[in-house]
């Protein structure tokens, strides 16, 4: 498995890079931001210690090649505005799941589209993944739009797939194949 701890990706406005120990306060703010957390199936962080623990876990996971979560650092001011992740990596089937989120204050500015394009390019071109998929709450219309916009296909619905705080919800499955991605790249959509 490759190690991911030195991976950094650049877009027009963002530097995608692993979280560092010094990001703990920003990570805490992220994981307590109401809009960021709205569809996350775990409670908001209770203290900054949980952010320190997340950064430590991420460092291990990057080094072992288990998962690649990158913080989105805005290049203009160096502020962390969100993150995106490739996880559940399955090298036999050459597939991975994608996750992402922004601070609510940063919605509607096109940042995630930039970040996802860059992470997907890395996943398909560098890691040679064949399939990248997302599982989202169908009520998460912003997330569905992000996936549609970048070329994912809605493939189906897992009925009553999640129970969070006694609330039962379905999961919509979206998939993007390397061949879909290359076709979009070839016709200049990306």
Ligand X SMILES: CC(C)(COP(=O)(O)OP(=O)(O)OC[C@H]1O[C@@H](n2cnc3c(N)ncnc32)[C@H](O)[C@@H]1OP(=O)(O)O)[C@@H](O)C(=O)NCCC(=O)NCCS
CA distance 60 to 183: 35
Is 138 among the residues that bind ligand X (CB under 6 A)? no
In the chain, at which residue ranges do the beta strands (DSSP E only) sit?
Answer: 9-10, 14-17, 68-74, 80-90, 95-102, 131-136, 153-164, 167-177
Which residue in the set 29, 99, 153, 171 belongs to the binding site for ligand X (CB under 6 A)?
99
Is 140 among the residues that bind ligand X (CB under 6 A)? yes
Is 109 among the residues that bind ligand X (CB under 6 A)? yes
End-to-end CA distance of the chain: 28
Q: Which range in 2-10, 33-41, 45-53, 162-170 contacts ligand X by CB under 6 A?
A: 33-41
Q: Please name the helix (run of DSSP H) or strand (run of DSSP E) that holds residue 125, with its range, or none.
A: none
Q: Please name the helix (run of DSSP H) or strand (run of DSSP E) that holds residue 36, with its range, or none.
A: helix 34-37
20 or 35: whose CB is closer to ligand X? 35
Is 177 among the residues that bind ligand X (CB under 6 A)? no
10 or 145: whose CB is closer to ligand X? 145
Which residue in the set 2, 46, 110, 138 belongs to the binding site for ligand X (CB under 6 A)?
110
Q: Please name the helix (run of DSSP H) or strand (run of DSSP E) that holds residue 114, with its range, or none.
A: helix 111-121
Is 113 among the residues that bind ligand X (CB under 6 A)? yes
Smallest separation (angstroms) from ligand X to the CB of 115: 8
CA distance 27 to 71: 9
Is 71 among the residues that bind ligand X (CB under 6 A)? no
| 15 alpha carbon, distance to own chain's centre | 14
Binding site for ligand X (CB under 6 A): 35-36, 38-39, 99-102, 107-113, 134, 136, 140, 142-143, 145-146
């Amino acid at each position: 498995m490759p190690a991911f701890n030195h991976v950094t990706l650049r877009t027009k406005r963002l530097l995608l890079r692993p979280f560092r120990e010094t990001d703990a306060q920003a990570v805490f703010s992220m994981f307590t931001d109401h809009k960021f957390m709205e569809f996350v199936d775990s409670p908001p962080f209770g203290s900054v210690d949980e952010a320190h623990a997340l950064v430590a876990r991420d460092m291990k996971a990057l080094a072992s090649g288990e998962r690649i979560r990158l913080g989105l650092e805005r290049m203009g001011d160096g502020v962390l505005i969100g993150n995106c992740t490739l996880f559940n990596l399955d090298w036999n089937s050459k597939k991975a799941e994608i996750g992402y989120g922004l601070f609510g204050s940063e919605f509607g500015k096109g940042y995630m589209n930039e970040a996802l394009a860059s992470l997907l390019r890395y996943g398909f071109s560098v890691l040679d993944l064949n399939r990248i998929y997302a599982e989202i709450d169908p009520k998460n219309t912003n997330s569905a739009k992000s996936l549609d916009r970048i070329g994912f296909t809605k493939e189906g619905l897992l009925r009553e797939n999640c129970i969070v705080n006694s609330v039962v919800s379905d999961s919509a499955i979206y998939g993007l194949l390397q061949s879909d991605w290359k076709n979009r790249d070839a016709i200049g959509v990306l």
